[in-house]
């Protein structure tokens, strides 16, 4: 059992602005939704003219739309670690996808919330360690692999419906027989079509395989577990936290016939990609409707984002930002970001200040009245509660990134980017597509930011050495 420390709220410089609402609230229910490989430009509210996302679009109208929201890394596992800990994955040893685990010494959001009598559940993709050490499973699970065995139960979750890593986005336990389809995806299998098992499973919190209700849209399969969890928390009269990490639209991308039909005028890859996103969007709408019906809507905050930019060589859209998944240019790390909390955010507005997945934990600590003075580890995020309460935010802390041979440092209005030690610097306000390298014209700024970045990297290295 990890010790949960009291925490001191990080002060923010908050500018005046529109006020979303100042209603009182009890400890809110918290839902953290994450899509997988969803690009910044893959939603209607961010300008996509093909993919239909009416429920996400409604969230953007109802709540806070983060126009510069960043995943803490350019790939999956590291970003997920940042969500749960408020820390950059580089300081935790989760350097890349399928590399490292969420370390037992890290303090997570669900562990903190359990100290406040919350019920906690994880649903969907885990990707922070294996879920079995007794059989061959998914990417890293295998007999005797105790080093990477690291299920959600070890990190404060009461309920689980989790996979180690990716699954098909339709019929998640199935794949066509060899020679049909590809690793990128396929058309959904006919009812009587032969298939092979995909090679991974859904596991409950006790380490048992789930075998029922695994047909059809994977986002619906996940939501079918989320809603009963919420109902159980309501019955127990407890606040809840649900981490809902959809697999959509990570490959293999598969959409059901009714969703492909919506996009029948497009190529097969687009039909499956866009169809799976619309199916996920539908489940988000289902969730919001359920909360309203159960009288839980007002005091439930729903966060939505993606774990990184869109996959290379696929139909996903960055919205025009440079590069894609695995890159620390904005196309790889700027992702859709939303928050709805009807009891607190009374009308929708947008935020242009850089925010990041590491901000979730400090925000939750702040709203619980905790502080960071006695926090044993350094946080890389900052509380967004002042933004929620006042409608404005001026971020004091820069945001650092590191993956493979790339680093980046975002400190308004500039972004310093390095690949193999070669630095470039961009003004992200006037040049959001990172087209004009200002290294020669503002060399002193670049040198100053480089010093801050190197100091941060050294600090991170001390955390895991």
Mean of the per-residue pLDDT values for the chain? 93
> Does residue 182 carry a pLDDT above 90?
no
Neighbours of 275 (CB within 10 A): 31
CB 342 within 8 A of CB 301: no
Q: Where are the domains of the chain?
A: 29-397, 405-465
- Torsion over CA of 416, 419, 421 and 427, rounded to 10 degrees? -20
Span 29-397 CATH architecture:
3-Layer(aba) Sandwich (3.40)
pLDDT band at 17 (very low <50, low <70, confident <90, very high): very low
pLDDT tens per residue, range 428-454: 999 999 999 999 999 999 999 999 999
**DSSP state string for 217-269:** BHHHHHHHHHHHHHHHHHHTT--EEEEEE--TTSSSB---HHHHHHTTTS-HH
> Does residue 298 carry a pLDDT above 50?
yes
- Pairing mode, if any, of strands 195-197 and 174-176? antiparallel
pLDDT tens per residue, range 80-107: 999 999 999 999 999 999 999 999 999 9
pTM, full prediction: 0.94
> Does residue 276 carry a pLDDT above 80?
yes
User: Across-strand partners of 354?
Assistant: none
CATH class as words, domain 405-465: alpha beta
pLDDT tens per residue, range 209-246: 999 999 999 999 999 999 999 999 999 999 999 999 99
Encoding tokens for residue 323?
A: 């590069």
Burial zone of 12 (CB within 10 Å; 0-12 exposed, 13-18 middle, 19+ buried): buried
Distance CA(114)–CA(118), nearest Å, equals 5
Distance CA(218)–CA(30), nearest Å, equals 22
CB 150 within 8 A of CB 99: no
């Amino acid at each position: 059992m990890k010790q949960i420390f009291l925490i001191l709220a990080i002060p923010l410089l908050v500018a005046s602005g529109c006020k979303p609402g100042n209603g009182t609230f009890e400890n809110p229910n918290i839902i953290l939704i994450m899509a997988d490989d969803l690009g910044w430009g893959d939603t209607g509210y961010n300008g996509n003219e093909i993919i239909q996302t009416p429920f996400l679009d409604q969230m953007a109208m109802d709540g806070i739309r983060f126009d510069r929201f960043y995943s803490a890394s350019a790939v999956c596992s590291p970003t997920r670690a940042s969500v749960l800990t408020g820390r950059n994955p580089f300081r935790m040893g989760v350097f890349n996808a399928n590399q490292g685990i969420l370390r037992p010494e890290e303090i997570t959001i669900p562990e903190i919330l359990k100290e406040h009598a919350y019920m906690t559940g994880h649903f969907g993709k885990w990707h922070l360690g294996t879920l079995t050490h007794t059989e061959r499973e998914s990417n890293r699970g295998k007999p005797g692999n105790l080093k990477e065995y690291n299920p959600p139960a070890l990190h404060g979750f009461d309920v689980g419906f989790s996979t180690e890593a990716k699954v098909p986005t339709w019929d998640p336990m199935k794949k066509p027989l060899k020679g049909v389809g590809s690793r990128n995806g396929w058309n959904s299998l006919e009812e009587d079509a032969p298939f092979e098992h995909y090679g991974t499973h859904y596991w409950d919190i006790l380490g048992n395989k789930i075998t029922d209700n695994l047909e059809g849209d994977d986002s619906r399969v996940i939501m079918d577990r989320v809603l009963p969890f919420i109902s159980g928390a309501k019955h127990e009269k407890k606040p809840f936290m649900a981490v809902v990490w959809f697999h959509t639209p990570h490959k293999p991308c598969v959409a059901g016939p009714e969703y492909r039909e919506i996009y029948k005028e497009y190529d097969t890859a687009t039909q499956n990609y866009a169809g799976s996103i619309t199916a996920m969007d539908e489940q988000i709408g289902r969730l919001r409707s359920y909360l309203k019906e159960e009288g839980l809507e007002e005091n439930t905050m729903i966060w939505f984002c993606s774990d990184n930019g869109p996959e290379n060589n696929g139909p996903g859209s960055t919205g025009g930002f440079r590069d894609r998944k695995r890159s620390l240019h904005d196309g790889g790390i700027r992702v859709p970001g939303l928050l709805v909390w009807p009891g607190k955010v009374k009308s929708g507005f947008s935020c242009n200040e850089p925010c990041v997945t590491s901000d979730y934990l400090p925000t939750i600590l702040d709203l619980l009245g905790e502080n960071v003075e006695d926090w044993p580890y350094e946080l890389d995020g900052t509380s967004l509660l002042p933004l929620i309460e006042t409608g404005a935010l001026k971020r004091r802390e820069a945001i650092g990134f590191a993956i493979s041979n790339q680093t980046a440092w975002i400190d308004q209005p500039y972004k310093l980017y390095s690949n193999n030690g070669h630095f470039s610097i961009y003004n992200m306000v006037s040049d959001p597509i990172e087209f004009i390298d200002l290294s020669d014209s503002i060399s002193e700024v670049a040198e100053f930011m480089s010093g801050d970045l190197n100091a941060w990297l050294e600090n991170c290295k001390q955390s895991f050495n």
